[in-house]
Structure formats: C-alpha cells, structure tokens
C-alpha cells in the first residue's frame, strides 16, 4: 500500500477483515523501537485479535490511492486479573480492577502526527468504561518518544524490569470511573 501525506485518519474498533492489514502494519513497524530489514511475524496475541481483544482493539485507518483502507495504527487493551497476567510486576498489583494496554503501534510514515495519542486516548476511554480503576502499560526504555507521550498523558512510571536484553519501563494511569467522569460534565 502506498500511503499519501495529508490524509485524514480515523480511529475505529478492529474488524476481522483488518487482520491482513495488521500484518502489513507489523511488517513495517519495528518492535522495541528498533529497525530491521526482514518482515517480522505477528506476535502471538495479534494472530487472533478477535479472541484476545474481543472489544478492546482499536485501529487507525486511512484511505489509500486505490480507495482501499489501510491500517496505519493499532492499540490493544484488555482487562486483566493477577492470575491471568503473571508477567505483571508485583509493584503494579493493587487489588483493584486493572486494564493493560498491550499494544500501541503506528506505521513509521505516520509517526509524530498524534496517532499514538489518539489510539491511547481510545484505550483509556475503553478501560474507564470497562470499570478499570488503573491502566498499566510497558514500553522499552529506548523508546524515548513513547515515554514522553505517556508521561505527557499523565502516566506515571512505577517500575522497571528486564526482558532479555530489553529494559522495560512500566507505567500506570489512575482512571476515574466512567460514571464519575459523566457526572462532572
């Protein structure tokens, strides 16, 4: 797909027909902020988005030259339980309902245009409406742009862990309940 500059991008829920477009996105978006020459396989949880994120996957889309829709960004969020998330650091376990933002990915051609923020905002809204009191996420320490974005959005660094050679920075965002937000409006 050939992306054009200046195209309006929309955010919507994932549809099963997006699966191949997500493969295209991940084939061009390096993990952990690195670059690579060969396309990478989809991570396991994204092989079946409908099963792993049934209501919490958002895509950023735009229309490309041939009139088809391209997925140029993705955010995947889910509620978690301590038993279901053994990799959550102990510092993040509070006993309150928690959602985890598993993915925020944007095509390199669309970096620095606010798509990561818009996708993260959609995930925050979803987490709040799901009844979660906290949203957690991790990113690699070398992704300075992602860290700056999350801090600007109010996420607070809670701890750091190692995964192989990668240092992961874990962030939390306290969420007001959806009914609390609506009563203030």
Give one DSSP letter per residue of 62-82, joined into a string: EE-TTS-EEEEEEEEEEEE-T
List strand residue ranges (DSSP E) for the chain, in order.
Answer: 10-13, 57-63, 69-80, 98-106, 134-140, 156-163, 166-174
Q: What is the pTM of this model?
A: 0.84
Residue 83 has pLDDT above 50, yes or no: no
Per-residue tokens: 76: 């995947």
Average pLDDT over every residue of 137-150: 93
pLDDT of residue 157: 96
Separation of alpha carbons 92 and 102, rounded Å: 15
Average per-residue pLDDT in the chain?
83
What CATH architecture is 10-184?
A: 3-Layer(aba) Sandwich (3.40)
In the chain, pLDDT over 90 holds for what percent of residues?
44
């Amino acid at each position: 797909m050939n992306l054009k500059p200046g195209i309006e991008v929309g955010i919507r829920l994932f549809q099963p027909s997006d699966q191949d477009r997500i493969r295209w996105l991940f084939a061009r978006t390096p993990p952990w902020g690195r670059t690579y020459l060969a396309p990478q396989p989809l991570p396991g949880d994204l092989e079946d988005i409908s099963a792993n994120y049934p209501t919490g996957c958002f895509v950023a889309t735009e229309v490309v030259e041939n009139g088809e829709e391209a997925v140029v960004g993705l955010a995947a969020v889910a509620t978690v339980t301590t038993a279901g998330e053994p990799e959550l650091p102990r510092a993040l376990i509070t006993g309150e309902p928690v959602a985890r933002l598993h993915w925020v990915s944007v095509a390199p051609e669309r970096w620095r245009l606010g798509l990561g923020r818009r996708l993260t905002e959609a995930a925050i809204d979803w987490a709040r409406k799901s009844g979660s009191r906290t949203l957690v996420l991790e990113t690699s320490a070398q992704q300075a742009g992602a860290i700056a974005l999350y801090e600007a959005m109010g996420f607070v660094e809670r701890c750091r862990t190692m995964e192989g050679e990668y240092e992961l920075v874990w962030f939390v965002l306290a969420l007001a309940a959806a009914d609390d937000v609506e009563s203030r409006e």
